[in-house]
Structure 1
């Protein structure tokens, strides 16, 4: 029996802090497919949205091969139309919140330069900024509930892989690596 072709246009979905970018980069490296960080397309200097964002997303989606994170409401339909697979990181809330807090604190303490020169704001802004990434992650933690049913209706051409734990993620990536080596 022939091996099914590997997907060439892949989205990684999940709430803030679920590990979308980390997994997307790993998938891209495994498949030899370019990974584009959607946040890098969206955020301009001083965390302002880049005016070219949707044009850049359209150019990305038009490509033959890519892996990126499935985020930003206006960009999602553009990417979904051409995607072959969506990997959904549906991790427990406690795991995600632990990851987003640790990542945010680490980035702030190290003054990690992110997209277009941006850095995480001072930690005290957690108390004052409603849209601080940790508060945002908590507030939007349920935004993907029912995603599998939604995609079955809106994008039946997209294979959905739902991963609910770190061990499922490890096993799925290992299976992907085995599939690549079989080619």
Structure 2
């Protein structure tokens, strides 16, 4: 496994898991949020964003975390494994709110400089609707662009811990 894509709801633990997987497997870590956002939460334009993702996905090895459903067609065909953090929405909402409090005075490593942690009603709605709207899009993307791609679907914190333990001891 040289290219591992980690996706899931905000607050599901994608960035934390990606950091740990990259460390354990000694692979480069790519946080898509660091590449998409500019200071002040200014998004990349569509054309340059797709070009950036195509370049990142073409690299020989990585652990990449992030959703960005509009670029699944660029990322999934390059991946050797998809790790889908599919934890309960209530847990994800709790973690998003806890993260906002924890990073109220400092930036997060998975975000670019000038993008302080924030939570608004639109973001909370996105987290709440993720299982109904974004989960099907991700799974449809796998069937469409990478039907042979192995998928590890982690639904509980215990499953995350067990999968990480197995990763360390094949």
Check whether TM > 0.5.
Answer: yes
- Which category of TM-score, normalised to the shorter sequence, fits these structures? 0.7 to 0.9
Whether the aligned pair in 1 keeps the contact of 2:18 and 2:64 (CA below 8 Å) is yes
Aligned to 1:9: 3
Bigger shift: 146-155 or 19-28? Answer: 146-155
Greater Rg over alpha carbons, structure:
1
Q: Deviations over 1:6-28 (max 9, x none)?
A: x1111111011111111111111
**Aligned partners of 1:18 and 1:96 also within 8 Å:** yes
Distance in structure 2 (CA, Å) of the matches to 1:112 and 1:147: 28
* Structure 2 unpaired stretches of 5+: none
TM-score (norm 1): 0.81
Aligned-residue RMSD, C-alpha: 2.0
The answer to whether the aligner puts 1:85 opposite 2:76 as a matched pair is: no
Moved over 6 A (4+): none
- Is the contact made by 2:31 and 2:66 (CA closer than 8 Å) also made in structure 1? no
- TM-score normalized by the length of structure 2: 0.86
Equivalent-residue separation in structure 2 for 1:172 and 1:82 (angstroms): 22
- Number of residue pairs matched? 165
Structure 1 gap ranges (5+): 1-6
Equivalent residue for 1:138?
Answer: 128
